[in-house]
């Protein structure tokens, strides 16, 4: 799918051939890795087929055989091949903190925080083996403090909250380990991974500034990823599927694509920040936690960044900032 923005045709990749072409066209720039917003999905991505009959169209679109699962399996290997990152810094819709930003520092193996509820027992036995790196964690804290943002590293056993089994646990939330399993496999020890909390006010400008604070890391061989979902209303599952979503929600999603596709960086930022005033915003996001990672990624791209739309399937796009 494509449209025009001024004199430039903008392609909105929705098929596998289209998104693979978009991924192939990204320049290989290990010395300046783009910042990415990506759709992180949900545990449904890695659920077994027994849940499919209960969920209908939502399963077909959001489950293990849907377009997001297929895209993530293409996305991860491309990132490693083109950018050869020395480290990965990830922001997730599922971690925000008030006052100070927290930066994971789990050492030799990152634990998993099973922050989902009411799923089959098998989903609480998932494994994603990865490692942290204290030097990378400290570098992130340094960058944040330089920008005037309070930050510290976590303790290895510092709990994130109560998990789906009723235990207080540290670790990566499912907005990290679910998509990363598809992107990098069950075991991924080659590149250290550090997770950073968003600003808990969920203020668009503050989280844009949070992304700006880590932009220099991209020139140090660090891959910056920020994951969420651009339609996320757990009160109304019909909103998750394009052909059942209300018109005001599909209109909101199209407004996101149009805003991100604007060529001029200043005009793009204005249009993106104004998305929270769209009539469909609250129906798509009763709580804006899954939308705000878009601003973190945009900030991490820098002030004069171009943008490439790598995938545009409904509610689950992926964008490269400063490619």
Q: For the purposes of burial, counting CB atoms within 10 Å of the CB of 100, is it exposed (0-12), middle (13-18) or buried (19 or more)?
A: middle
**pLDDT confidence of residue 52:** 58
Give me the phi and psi of 123, to 5 degrees please: -75, -5
Bridge pairing between strands 8-11 and 307-311: unpaired
**pLDDT confidence of residue 50:** 64
Q: For the purposes of burial, counting CB atoms within 10 Å of the CB of 164, is it exposed (0-12), middle (13-18) or buried (19 or more)?
A: middle
Can you give the residue range of the structural domain that contains 129? 2-321
Give me the phi and psi of 149, to 5 degrees please: -105, 125
**pLDDT confidence of residue 2:** 47
- Collect the ranges in the chain with pLDDT lower than 50: 1-4, 6-7
**pLDDT confidence of residue 53:** 59
Q: What is the pLDDT of residues 46-88, one digit of tens each?
A: 887 666 556 677 778 888 999 999 999 999 999 999 999 999 9
Domain count of the chain?
1
Angle (CA) 42-43-46 rounded to 5° is 115
Residues 6+ apart with CB under 8 A from 65: none
200 and 98 in contact (C-beta within 8 Å)?
Answer: yes
Give me the phi and psi of 223, to 5 degrees please: -90, 120
CATH assignment of the domain containing 158: 3.40.830.10
Q: Count of alpha carbons within 13 Å of 13, Cβ hemisphere only?
A: 20
What is the C-alpha to C-alpha distance for residues 36 and 16, in angstroms, rounded to an integer?
19
pTM: 0.95
**pLDDT confidence of residue 151:** 98
């Amino acid at each position: 799918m494509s449209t025009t923005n001024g004199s430039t045709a903008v392609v909105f990749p929705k098929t596998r051939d289209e998104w693979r072409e978009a991924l192939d066209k990204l320049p290989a720039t290990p010395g300046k890795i783009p910042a990415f917003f990506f759709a992180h999905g949900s545990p449904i991505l890695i659920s077994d087929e027994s849940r499919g009959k209960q969920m209908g169209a939502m399963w077909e679109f959001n489950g293990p055989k849907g377009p997001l699962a297929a895209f993530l399996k293409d996305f991860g290997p491309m990132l490693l091949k083109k950018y050869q990152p020395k480290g990965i810094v990830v922001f997730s819709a599922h971690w925000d903190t008030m006052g100070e930003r927290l930066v994971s520092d789990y050492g030799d193996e990152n634990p998993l925080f099973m922050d989902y509820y009411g799923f089959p027992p098998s989903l609480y036995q998932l494994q994603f083996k990865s490692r942290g790196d204290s030097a990378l964690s400290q570098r992130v804290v340094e960058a944040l403090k330089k920008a005037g943002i309070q930050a510290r590293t976590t303790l290895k056993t510092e709990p994130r909250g109560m998990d789906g089994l009723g235990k207080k646990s540290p670790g990566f939330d499912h907005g990290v380990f679910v998509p990363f399993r598809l992107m990098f496999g069950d075991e991924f020890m080659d590149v250290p991974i550090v997770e950073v909390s968003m600003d808990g006010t969920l203020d668009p400008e503050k989280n844009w500034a949070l992304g700006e604070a880590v932009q220099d890391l991209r020139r140090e061989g660090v891959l910056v990823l920020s994951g969420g979902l651009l339609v996320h209303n757990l009160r109304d599952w019909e909103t998750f599927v394009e052909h059942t979503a209300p018109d005001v929600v599909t209109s909101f999603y199209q407004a996101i694509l149009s805003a991100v596709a604007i060529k001029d960086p200043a005009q793009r930022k204005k249009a993106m920040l104004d998305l929270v005033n769209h009539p469909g915003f609250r129906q798509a996001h009763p709580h804006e936690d899954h939308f705000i990672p878009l601003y973190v990624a945009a900030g991490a791209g820098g002030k004069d960044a171009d943008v490439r739309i790598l995938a545009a399937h409904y509610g689950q796009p992926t964008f490269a900032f400063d490619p």
